[in-house]
A and B are shown apart, each in its own frame.
Chain A
Amino acid sequence: MPYEFKLPDLGEGVAEGEIARWLVEVGQVIDEDDPLVEVQTDKTTVEIPSPAAGKVARILVEEGQVVPVGTVLIVIGEDGVAPGPAEEQPRAEPAPQQEAAEAVAPDDGKVRATPLVRKIARELGVDLASLTGTGPQGRITEADVRGAAEPAPDAEGRREPLRGVRRLIAEHMTRAHREVPPVTWVEECDFANVDLKQLVPLTLKAAAEALKEFPELNARLEGDEIVYLDRYDLGFAVQTDQGLLVPVVRDVDSRSLEEVDAEVRRLAEAAREGRLKPEELRGSTFSVTSAGKLAGLFQTPIVNHPEVGILSLGRIAERPVVRDGEVVVRPIGYVALTFDHRVVDGARAAAFGLAVIDRLQNGESPA
């Protein structure tokens, strides 16, 4: 049987070796212990004597090649006498002590439930002792507990618990809706002078500038105090697979348009990939939402509590309008502003809205 000689492990931790020099040739008949090959490791060069006798049938690795330990280097022919049996042997794993899992719950009246399940049972007011567990060994599972807590057995429809982002949105919207008396003001805006590729950053900049003139829209109601904020951290809505998220761009007033643009892109991407950090979702003083083609003519956005105002952009489209007595076609979008009527009056809200529209229409290159 032909003997395959593999590169041995020549030292502690040596993982590979370079075939420095072959000391035999194909076809050469060699004896056991004849010098076979010189191998170089990172520690030293070693001459390896042949473990087998016979005719060299094949040399598989060239001089200069570096190969991992265990690589077959050379085959010593049909009459090659191999030392010992093949090294690869099936290895038996030590059989771990296995306790036979009981198929049936032992009948000792003990409640079998993990601490988590017990906690859920407590919260839902379910008596564990009254349940039969459907888990292994008669364990009571979470499903068993929730099943016992559910109302009428004829409850219909596919059910999905409120979890994660969805749950947070639900809580947030409920609160906003409950607390804030909203009024929505809508006005048209000509977007001819607006680079639509920078729609959101331009809108953020315009809003931040306008908020400086209308501080009551950059405020919040705390107890019986109106708190006027002197920073301009604006949120902008991003629709993601998990739901609507509102990441925050800090200091919109002092940043350049380019900076705001870059930040908007970064946050939007992070939001869609679920990588936003908690601090990137907190602390906005005013919010903007722009749903693009899905925005409808206009919306009545919900104030992003605890803010007092939110601005939304309706779908921008070519529309006929009258200018100087003539019907012309312009890119028109409706700008909607919902405000908290506890803190902001209609006239002021309108003036603010017009200030934003003014800036957008005039295409003022923001600082």
Chain B
Amino acid sequence: MAQVLPAEHDVRRIIGDGEEVADGEVDGLGDAALLDLYRGMVLLRTYDERSLVYHRQGRIGTYAIFWGHEAIQVGSALALADEDWIFPSYRESAIGLLRGMPPETVLSWWRGHPAGWWDPREYRVASIAVPIATHVPHAVGYAWGAKLKGELACAIAYFGDGATSEGAFHEGANFAAVMRAPAVLLCNNNQWAISTPLSAQTRAESLADKAAGYGMPGVRVDGGDVLAVYQATTEALARARAGEGPTFIEALTYRCAPHATADDPSVYWDAERVDEERRNECLGRYEGYLRRLGVLTDELAEEARADALARMKEGIAAAEALPPPDPDVVFAHAYVDPPPGLRDG
């Protein structure tokens, strides 16, 4: 039995601050890969910013903003192999974009249109889980099931700090460890569950400490550092593939946007802290790192942005051009073999 690693209490960082703290590096990440990470972050950032605009224009419904979480999502997702499955929460609603899902699909989901119901197998991205933490057992079951079949696929589940209070998280984590499922449990600790601060969510010193209770390693990374996230995820996947079971990664960050478009955080958050965090946000930090490294030029940056913007425009146009759904769809997919009288009502 592998030794359970103690939780890393010091938050792991790789990106320096451009002054006193030096930049580190991740083994095996060449320039091309570094730029892939960058472009992924720009794509997600653009998706999120445009979504907020579309919401205000009434073109999408209530929307869960993920501004500032791009490092967590991109850093981890790009560490995955093609056959690994992603189990997102609503915070990672657009993570499928990183796997080629068209923006139109995710926009349709937020527009309440069935075109947003993608086939998980096409992208190896499970449907967006709306209820908190209940998808953690799904990811675990998938990973466990793949292992039983002798496949190498892993599964990663994303959930927030609040989710670690839910029973489903506990049961999923426990199953993962007992079954030695090749799963990565990635906790996006942005320190807020709508208006509930972390201090009201747990008495644990760090969420990574919870992992010890399950007999799995817990790792703490700076959730604003895309390279740290990438590195931790890569290590966790390697462990999983080696048959050593699951890892809990706590990506520490700070939510500096409302929980969702229907939320008004001015009544509960610390505006000064939010401003400070915004100035130090993850995309800007990574850009600084890449420029210091001489990998990112203005031209490349502009190109990434323009490309992302173009894809979003295309996406919203496509989503809005979709015909209204056939109400019969309400009945069509509930069962493979429906009971009679399904249309009675």
Contacts and interface: CB of A to CB of B under 8 A. Distances in A.
A89 interface: yes
A46 B53 contact: no
A127 B59 CA distance: 67
Given A10-B56, A33-B53, A43-B262, 8 more contacts: A5-B57, A8-B55, A8-B56, A8-B57, A46-B56, A83-B320, A84-B320, A92-B326
Interface in A1-17: 5-12
A97 B344 contact: yes
Classify the interface of chain B: helix, strand, loop or mixed.
loop
Contacts of B293: none
- Which residue, A9, A44, A47, A85, has most C-beta atoms of chain B within 10 A? A44
A12 B262 contact: yes
A151 interface: no
Classify the interface of chain A: helix, strand, loop or mixed.
loop
B343 A83 contact: no
A209 B77 CA distance: 98
A97 B261 contact: no
Interface string B52-74: 01011111011000000000000
Interface string B159-188: 000000000000000000000000000000
A221 to B, nearest CB: 61
B58 A8 contact: yes
B334 to A, nearest CB: 13
B130 interface: no
Given A9-B58, A12-B262, A85-B321, A94 B53 contact: no
Interface of B: 53, 55-59, 61-62, 261-262, 264, 266, 316-317, 320-321, 323-324, 326-328, 330-331, 341, 343-345
A11 B344 contact: no
A12 B327 contact: no
A43 B61 CA distance: 16
Interface of A: 5-12, 33, 43-44, 46-49, 51, 83-85, 89, 91-97
A7 B341 CA distance: 40
Contact of A94 (B56, B261, B262, B331): B331
Nearest to A97: B343
Contact of A91 (B56, B61, B324, B330): B324
A11 B62 contact: yes
A94 B62 contact: no
A49 B56 CA distance: 7
Contacts of B344: 96-97
A94 B328 CA distance: 5
Interchain residue pairs A-B with the least CB separation, the first 6: A8-B58, A84-B320, A94-B327, A11-B262, A51-B57, A48-B56
A35 to B, nearest CB: 10
Contact of B330 (A8, A44, A94, A97): A94
Contacts of B323: 89
Nearest to A83: B320
Nearest to A69: B58
Contacts of A49: 53, 56-57
B345 to A, nearest CB: 8
Contact of A44 (B55, B264, B321, B326): B264
A9 B261 CA distance: 11
Contacts of B316: 83-84
A97 B344 CA distance: 7
Contacts of B264: 43-44
A91 B262 contact: no
Contact of B261 (A11, A48, A95): A11
- Which residue, B55, B57, B330, has most C-beta atoms of chain A within 10 A? B57
A6 B317 CA distance: 18
Given A9-B58, A49-B53, A97-B343, A84 B317 contact: yes
A97 B58 CA distance: 35
Nearest to A50: B57
29 contacts: A6-B58, A7-B58, A8-B55, A8-B57, A9-B58, A9-B61, A10-B56, A10-B261, A11-B262, A43-B262, A47-B56, A48-B56, A49-B56, A49-B57, A51-B57, A83-B59, A83-B316, A83-B320, A84-B59, A84-B321, A85-B320, A85-B321, A89-B324, A92-B326, A93-B327, A94-B327, A94-B328, A96-B344, A97-B344
